[in-house]
Amino acid sequence: MPRRLLMLSATLTLITTPAFAGDSDCALHKRLSGQKTQSAAVIQTSAQTPITPHTVASSTVISLSSRINRPAAVPPSAQPQTGFAAGEGDNPVILQAQSNYGSGSPAPTAKKPMVEKTSAHAEFTNILQKYVSPPDDQGLTHFAYGKLKANSSDKAALDNYIKTLERVNPSTLPRNDAIAYYANLYNAVTVQVVVDNYPVKSIRKLGPLSSGPWKKNLLTINGVASSLNDVEHEILRKQFPSPYIHYMVNCASVGCPNLLNSAWDGRTIDRVKVKAAEDYINSPRGVQITSKGLKVSSIFKWFKEDFGGKSGLLKHIRQHARPELAQAIDNGAQVVDYGYDWSLNE
């Protein structure tokens, strides 16, 4: 029996003793008889009224208990992530703080997004936008190495960006983000080594017998000293085989595909790499139409297997060719010569 009914029952017992049994004109008797009738009515009303099993305080205890013992089923879109995340086709690259939602409570529905999404390569993009020029009349972008060297804060930002990448475990990244990671690391270290040795006429001068800096261990990946050659040939070309890799890494030379004015980003990589291929193939540095046939970049010779050999190369070029070049290939033009300009792209 509920505690309140017990108390009321005890009160009724006290006021119905034999001293007041039977009819009486006593005033006290009449007053107590009236209290008896009123108490009985209260008891009857209480018995008919459902008693709420918890109060506000008990509700709070239940909620806290469920938070401790039964984690919330937070929708994937609301679950926090840290560091680099998936790219286009998966999830955006994001850097964000941890947060937790208690169970039994729906995810917050604030007007502003709970998660702020920022490109992990924003620092490198800031540098590229500041020092990469718009394409010239030959479609070539230029990098102001001298100006970057003279700006100590921007040079420090570049060095810091590279150190940040070196602290990332790229094997945990989704495919597109991993490709963007390695391409940006390659390009950033290339800019760094040229700036550190500037002025220089060609990157090939940064090694014995014009061998360049590519075999030097200039960076670290998962704690292992590595070279630019390791990044391009042992990782990108072997682990992520694609002809488009060659439009993503830049060797600081005029003959190379452009260094873009923004970092590679897993969210947009599939679209941007195709545009980069189109711009290069349709520039004099990529393919030239001559009276004898096509003179193409030596990249298509050095890495011909990446483009599917001789027949595969023509199909690749035709796929990205603009009308004049496409017509030449359709009319039977063949590759007859190769060339490459190692001058610094400044």
Residue ranges of the domains in the chain? 122-339
208 Cβ contact list (under 8 Å, min separation 6): none
* Other residues' Cβ atoms within 10 Å of the Cβ of residue 34: 10
Torsion of CA 88, 90, 95, 96, to 10 degrees: 140
Helix (H) or strand (E) holding 297: strand 294-297
335 Cβ contact list (under 8 Å, min separation 6): 293, 294, 295, 296, 300, 310, 313, 314
What does each of the 346 residues of the chain score in pLDDT, given as a tens digit? 444 443 434 443 433 444 434 444 445 445 545 554 454 444 444 444 444 444 333 333 333 333 333 333 333 333 333 345 444 433 333 333 333 333 344 444 444 443 334 578 999 999 999 999 999 999 999 999 999 999 999 999 999 999 999 999 999 999 999 999 999 999 999 999 999 999 999 999 999 999 999 999 999 999 999 999 999 999 999 999 999 999 999 999 999 999 999 999 999 999 999 999 999 999 999 999 999 999 999 999 999 999 999 889 999 999 999 999 999 999 999 999 999 999 999 9
DSSP 8-state class, residue 115: S
